[in-house]
Structure 1
Amino acid sequence: MSDESGTTELLREIRDNQREALALQREHIAMYQRQLERIERINDRAEALQGRAGASVKFILWVAIPLLVLLLALMAWPYLRYMLP
């Protein structure tokens, strides 16, 4: 009988260890899901920032650069007026 009780005790110990391992795996999965949610929120914020940065680039391309070209033309006008016959 001691052999059967030893086997039974060993099987119980294996079962308990498997339950602990499963609980640990569930905990890891829950932690992974929380991290994934956090990463998704960070990614959404980064996309929003990139969208705003794109608006800044459009402003520079359509407003600032033409103004700079106009300013350079106005600065060069006196020089070109005297250089051309």
Structure 2
Amino acid sequence: MSNAIRLNEKCIGEFYTQPYYNSLLSGREKIERMDEPEVCREYNTDSKQEILDILKNEIRLCEKKVEEGEIRLNL
């Protein structure tokens, strides 16, 4: 059985552009098309370690956005 992770982010204003968003993502993924105001990424994997790696990458992405003053991070 495959585990699916669906991640949604609400975009604020026109801050996100495809190149900017791709610069924040891990090297394993790129956004081909952006549907404003929501960006969805879906992962399918059977590996628990890969799920942990994906979540760590998402946390790093959020931390980078916090550093740039775009969002507040509440964990």
TM-score w.r.t. structure 2 length? 0.31
Larger radius of gyration: 1
Larger RCO: 1 or 2 (CA < 8 Å, sep 6+): 2
> Which structure is higher in strand share?
2
TM-score w.r.t. structure 1 length? 0.27
